[in-house]
């Protein structure tokens, strides 16, 4: 409950009737004009009755002024009426708005004197259940809301669980009791030109949207919409410049897409940000985030429900470090410009972000001591940095981080003279970054393993990775619990003529999982799309 019965007083252009009384009493018409006591209103008849206040007039609080009639104590603030008592303006029964509900913001409207009791938390999806306060779990004491996903009207406590990639009943588990298998439909080519690159995948308005890049004369970043059955819905270029730009990560907020990417319109590579509607149309001009005399590369972006955080590596001071930037939900830069997220470590590259309960998890590769995986927590305002936690031995690649159930799950691969033989993972507490599950192998031993991603199911994760088999790479999947113990055997998703690598996945609204990946044939990578279906 917040009491906001008062209001900010406007700077008066002229004074209240009581002020004119004082001017008349002391004969200070000229002095009043010089000092502002009688304000900018000139030609006032010293013997005339004071002007009456009208709605919309600026005013001064008359409390404590001398008076001889009630009009001299008039105020437009009906929440704080004044009366003339004993020749002085005094308070006269101010209105106190209090509904004794800690989940409302209690206020009084000065223009009407009416109380308003507004909920502290929103119901963005209109399902009748409000979101929790920031930092609270849905339905927890003091949370003021129980909706586990306020961007989705199909997710609310007590709803029936469907196979749709949503935690419909808000029990923390997505698609309880369902399993997934390859659709067996032929993969769909999404990119064009000589070379494709893959940024990310999301879902909105009955289609998957893939962030990719293609090469026709130069590298061009693009958003491509594709249906679950493989039909192309749209293809929209992201960076509308005649310079190289590379695909970046993609997030869907429930209303808009957002992406950050690197492009070379400023000679060196800089990081740009924009928002897009569900058809890939830009919602404003590109926003340049970095300002480095050297390269800025490999951005990642997360959405908190109210803000975006973008992090990237750049070499503005001679060594790569991780920088960040907060933007509000409209894409307006907020807070400090480019706060440094690794001031205590040089050679930091390729950040990955996840949003925790009330902070961020940041993981990156540290080049300074042999390319190790390093993790830290970052406060929501980016002003407080947690301890650095080194998780791997030297020689790693492709570190990523996800969040579920109060813990960060960090995964990475190995690379020295070539790809290692496994994907590794560790679990860290989101409160202090302490290690809950020590680094362990997640995929089992094979000859070569490279490029992986995670898809969160609430009580478990789907791990996707590229594994060497039959003299080529193909995509495999398996489920892991929150302690990174396997709960399914590896399952092969693709059988390709080339090498399938770099898988990334997203849920649809009907239970289908869309998977975008790179297929490398004759040395040229291209972006393809396939699906897993619910059973």
> Is the per-residue pLDDT at 247 higher than 90?
yes
Same domain, 102 and 210: no
Please name every residue paired with 204 in a beta bridge, in sequence order, or none if there are none. Answer: 207
392 in any annotated domain? no
User: Are 504 and 485 a contacting pair, CB within 8 Å?
Assistant: no
74 in any annotated domain? yes
Helices vs strands, H then E, count in the chain: 2, 35
Domain end position, chosen among 246, 272, 288: 288
Let me know the angle formed at the C-alpha of 504 by 503 and 507, rounded to the nearest 5 degrees. 135
> Is the per-residue pLDDT at 32 higher than 60?
no
33 φ/ψ angles, rounded to the nearest 5 degrees: -65, -40
Same domain, 223 and 113: no
Average pLDDT over residues 109-129: 94
pLDDT above 70 covers a percentage of the chain that reads 89
173-206 tens-digit pLDDT: 887 777 788 988 899 999 988 899 999 999 999 9
272 in any annotated domain? yes
145 in any annotated domain? no
User: Are 291 and 271 a contacting pair, CB within 8 Å?
Assistant: no
Query: Comparing 42-46, 84-88, 164-168, 257-261, which segment has the lowest mean pLDDT?
Result: 42-46
510 in any annotated domain? no
Same domain, 6 and 95: yes
Higher pLDDT, 173 or 287: 287
Same domain, 199 and 114: no
154-170 tens-digit pLDDT: 899 989 888 777 888 99
Domain end position, chosen among 120, 152, 182: 120
pLDDT-derived band at 43, boundaries 50, 70, 90: very low
- Helix, strand and coil content of the chain, in percent to the nearest 5, comes to 5, 45, 55
Same domain, 199 and 283: yes
Same domain, 6 and 111: yes
Same domain, 93 and 1: yes
Supply the pLDDT for residue 253. 94
Same domain, 9 and 112: yes
What's the predicted TM-score (pTM) here?
A: 0.73
437-492 tens-digit pLDDT: 999 999 977 889 999 999 998 888 999 999 998 889 999 999 999 999 999 999 99
Domain end position, chosen among 238, 272, 288: 288
38 in any annotated domain? yes
Cα separation values, 485 from 34, 220, 402, Å: 80, 40, 16
67 in any annotated domain? yes
Same domain, 204 and 94: no
Domain that holds residue 251: 195-288
Supply the pLDDT for residue 46. 36
Our count of domains for the chain comes to: 2
Average pLDDT over residues 56-85: 85
82 in any annotated domain? yes
pLDDT-derived band at 102, boundaries 50, 70, 90: very high
């Amino acid at each position: 409950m917040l009491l906001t019965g008062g209001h900010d007083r406007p700077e008066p252009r002229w004074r209240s009737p009581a002020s004119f009384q004082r001017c008349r009493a002391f004969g200070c018409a000229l002095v009043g004009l010089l000092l502002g006591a009688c304000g900018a209103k000139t030609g006032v008849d010293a013997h005339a009755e004071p002007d009456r206040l009208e709605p919309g007039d600026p005013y001064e609080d008359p409390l404590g002024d001398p008076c001889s009639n009630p009009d001299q104590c008039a105020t437009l603030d009906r929440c704080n009426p004044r009366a003339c008592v004993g020749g002085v303006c005094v308070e006269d029964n101010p209105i106190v708005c209090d509904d004794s509900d800690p989940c409302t913001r209690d206020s009084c409207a000065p223009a009407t004197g009416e109380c308003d009791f507004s909920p502290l938390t929103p119901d963005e999806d209109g399902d009748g259940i409000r979101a929790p306060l920031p930092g609270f779990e849905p339905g927890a004491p003091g949370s003021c809301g129980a909706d586990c996903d306020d961007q989705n009207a199909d997710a609310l406590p007590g709803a029936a669980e469907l196979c749709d990639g949503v935690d419909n009943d808000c029990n923390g588990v997505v698609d309880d009791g369902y399993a997934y298998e390859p659709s067996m439909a032929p993969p769909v080519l999404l990119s064009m030109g000589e070379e494709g690159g893959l940024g990310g995948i999301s879902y909105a308005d009955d289609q998957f949207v893939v962030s990719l890049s293609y090469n026709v004369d130069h590298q061009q970043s693009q958003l491509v919409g594709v249906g679950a059955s493989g039909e192309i819905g749209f293809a929209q270029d992201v960076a509308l410049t005649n310079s190289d730009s590379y695909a970046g990560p993609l997030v869907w907020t429930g209303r808009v897409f957002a992406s950050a990417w690197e492009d070379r319109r400023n000679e060196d590579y800089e990081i740009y940000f924009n928002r897009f509607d569900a058809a890939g149309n830009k919602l404003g001009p590109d926003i340049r985030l970095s300002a480095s005399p050297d390269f800025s590369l490999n951005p990642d972006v997360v959405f908190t429900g109210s803000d975006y955080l973008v992090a990237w590596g750049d070499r503005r001071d001679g060594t790569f470090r991780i920088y960040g930037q907060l933007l509000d939900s409209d894409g307006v830069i907020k807070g400090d410009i480019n706060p440094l997220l690794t001031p205590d470590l040089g050679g930091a590259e390729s950040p990955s972000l996840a949003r925790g309960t009330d902070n961020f998890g940041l993981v990156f590769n540290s080049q300074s001591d042999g390319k190790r995986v390093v993790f830290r927590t970052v406060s929501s305002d980016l002003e407080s940095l947690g301890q650095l936690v080194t998780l791997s031995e030297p020689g790693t690649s492709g570190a990523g981080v996800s969040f579920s159930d109060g813990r960060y799950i960090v995964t990475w691969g190995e690379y020295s003279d070539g790809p290692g033989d496994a994907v590794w993972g560790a679990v860290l507490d989101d409160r202090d970054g302490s290690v809950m599950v020590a680094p362990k192998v997640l995929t089992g031993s094979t000859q070569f393993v490279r490029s992986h991603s995670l898809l969160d199911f609430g009580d478990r994760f789907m791990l996707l990775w590229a594994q060497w088999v039959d003299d080529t790479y193909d995509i495999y999947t398996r489920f892991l619990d929150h302690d990174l113990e396997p709960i399914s055997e590896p399952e092969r998703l693709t059988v390709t003529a080339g090498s399938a690598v770099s898988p990334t996945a997203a849920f649809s609204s009907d239970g289908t999982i869309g998977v975008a990946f790179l297929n490398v044939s004759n040395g040229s990578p291209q972006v393809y799309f396939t699906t897993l279906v619910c059973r």
